[in-house]
Amino acid sequence: MLKAIILIGSPQKGTRFRPLSLEIPKPLFPIAGHPILYHLIESCAQLRELREILLIGCYQPNEALSRFIANAQQTFNTSIRYLQEYASLGTGGGIYHFRDLIKSNLSDKDVFFVINGDICADLPLVEMLQFHRENVGEKGFTILGTEATERQSTNYGCIAWDKQTNEVKHYVEKPSTFVSTTINCGVYVFTKFIFQILSETYRNNQQLYNDSSSAFTNYDLGFSRENIRLEKDVLSKLGGTGQLYVFPMGNKFWTSIKNPSSVIYANRHYLELYRMYHPERLYKQNDSKGPTIIGDVFIHPTACVAPSAVLGPNVSIGQDVTIGYGVRVRESIILGSCVLQDHCCVLYSIIAWNSTVGPWSRVEGTPNDPDPNKQFSKIEQDSLFQDGKLHPSITVIGNNVSIPGEVVVLNAVVLPHKEIGSSSKNQIIL
Ligand code: GTP
């Protein structure tokens, strides 16, 4: 028996992802034609023994989420349930709160995966499980690790480990000084024994809250008393105890999705994975009738693309999109029901649902890729603003935006439901 838990967060999370997370929960945002969650569930579905996937989050159940779950259950032939937290309980609090549901039908030897819902990766879950079974005892846990640069590592959970045994000697979440270039990917193999540790953490936290001498606690910051931070409260304590092991994922693709730029990066990698494992999902150039395709391109079957359009590399076109004559799109995601009118050009941009780009207009962002000169470099996960200024980044057009003909929109973020009057550069259009 094997289960997977995916932490999908809450509407309060995903602030760096706005305005794209204003419409739908971030884990439902489509990359390479499918929601982030779909890709994670697809990775889980490779585990033959998998019987159930539990999504834990703090979103009100809504139509988009229910429809997604119903479709995914059918596609992957697995039971998928959504468990709603009454408040944001943190990365460990939700798991603890729903412990009875998670534990049901699991024997002491059975394991379950916990996966952060804001990562995109070529997840080696089968290999990780095999590693866990062959190397880690019944009371031990495994964490998936990848490499980062020294400078970037401190933005993540850092893992110092014994290269011979893979035992984690030290775990520090977002340290202030360098600890290790191996970082936490947000994927864990746990056994039921994790609940003993979560239960101790819960009791300690309650003690802290009840202790009047602790003047400044999470509770004061507006968190629920049941909030448990898996990384800071639990993993940090497991380092050096012989209970935590790391499975390094090598050079495989991994990124967390914090800001819109990381979506363009993940889109490129998922399209590359399609090319390797599901070439049927990529659009195949049709010599006489279809558009010109460069590199990897996903086009939803309902989209209507003029034959003289040129798309790619690394472009995803959503449901019911219309693309006119002479349109050029590169390194971009065009979401459902958008209209790109004749001869417009879209580069390094995300255009959200139901938006229109007028004829001969140009929508362009600045590429924000990992530094190609630094091995293991990750994409920068800055927020859009820094020191009150807009950071040069990809261009993000919110949903229901109308861009007229013959304008240039460069390095801009346009909030939903706007009609742009003229060209704009390095601006946030509210
Ligand atoms: P930030 O840099 O602050 O974004 O932190 P982080 O990158 O370490 O991410 P964080 O630990 O906040 O979240 C990791 C994953 O857990 C994401 O998929 C979140 O959606 C999810 N998550 C975070 N907080 C909660 C919570 O309270 N409940 C649930 N169910 N999921 C959560």
Q: What CATH number should be reported for the domain holding residue 80?
A: 3.90.550.10
The pLDDT of residue 216: 47
Distance CA 394, CA 86 (A): 35
Task: Tell me whether residue 94 is in a domain.
Answer: yes
At residue 26, does pLDDT exceed 80? yes
Task: Tell me whether residue 273 is in a domain.
Answer: no
Distance CA 220, CA 160 (A): 32
Q: Are residues 226 and 314 in the same domain?
A: no
In degrees rounded to 5, what are phi and psi of residue 237?
Answer: -80, -20
Task: Tell me whether residue 396 is in a domain.
Answer: yes
Using pLDDT thresholds of 50, 70 and 90, give the confidence band for residue 20. Answer: confident
Q: Are residues 304 and 162 in the same domain?
A: no
Ligand 1 contact via 296 beta carbon (within 6 Å)? no
Specify the pTM: 0.94
Q: Tell me which of 7, 173, 221 to substitute to probe ligand 1's pocket, judged by most ligand atoms within 8 Å of the beta carbon.
A: 7
For the stretch 51-107, pLDDT in tens is 999 999 999 988 899 999 999 999 999 999 999 999 999 999 999 999 999 999 899
Distance in Å, CA 387 to ligand 1 centroid: 25
Q: Are residues 251 and 289 in the same domain?
A: no
Q: What is the CATH number of the domain that holds 398?
A: 2.160.10.10
At residue 412, does pLDDT exceed 50? yes
Last residue of a domain, one of 195, 221, 256: 256
Output the six-digit token pair for 111. 């394991």
Output the six-digit token pair for 421. 């009057």
Last residue of a domain, one of 190, 221, 256: 256
Q: What is the mean pLDDT of residues 282-296?
A: 88
Q: Are residues 290 and 227 in the same domain?
A: no
The pLDDT of residue 214: 54
Q: What is the mean pLDDT of residues 128-149?
A: 96
Distance in Å, CA 90 to ligand 1 centroid: 7
Output the six-digit token pair for 122. 């070529």
Any residues with CB less than 8 A from the CB of 26 and at least 6 apart, and which? 9, 13, 14, 17, 20, 36, 117, 118, 257
What percent of the chain is helix, strand and coil (3-state, nearest 5)?
A: 25, 30, 45
Q: Are residues 251 and 360 in the same domain?
A: no
The pLDDT of residue 215: 47
For the stretch 150-179, pLDDT in tens is 999 999 999 999 999 999 999 999 999 999
Task: Tell me whether residue 293 is in a domain.
Answer: yes
Q: Are residues 211 and 309 in the same domain?
A: no
At residue 205, does pLDDT exceed 90? no
Number of structural domains found in the chain: 2
For 215-224, 279-288, 360-369, which range has the lowest pLDDT when averaged over its residues? 215-224
Distance in Å, CA 230 to ligand 1 centroid: 10
Q: Cβ distance 335 to 320 under 8 Å?
A: no
Task: Tell me whether residue 44 is in a domain.
Answer: yes
Q: Are residues 248 and 295 in the same domain?
A: no
Q: Cβ distance 23 to 62 under 8 Å?
A: no
Distance CA 344, CA 149 (A): 38
Residue nearest to atom 30 of ligand 1 (CA): 57
> Which residue has better confidence, 243 or 206?
243
Q: Are residues 323 and 422 in the same domain?
A: yes
Q: Are residues 214 and 300 in the same domain?
A: no
Look up the domain containing 290 and give its range. 282-429
Q: Are residues 250 and 357 in the same domain?
A: no
Amino acid type, 196: Q
ω into residue 313 within 30 of 0, thus cis? yes
Helices 36-44 and 63-76 sit at what angle, rounded to 10 degrees? 30
Longest CA–CA separation in the chain, Å: 76
Q: Are residues 245 and 289 in the same domain?
A: no
For the stretch 211-268, pLDDT in tens is 755 544 554 555 577 899 999 999 999 999 999 999 999 989 999 998 899 999 999 9
Q: Are residues 242 and 312 in the same domain?
A: no
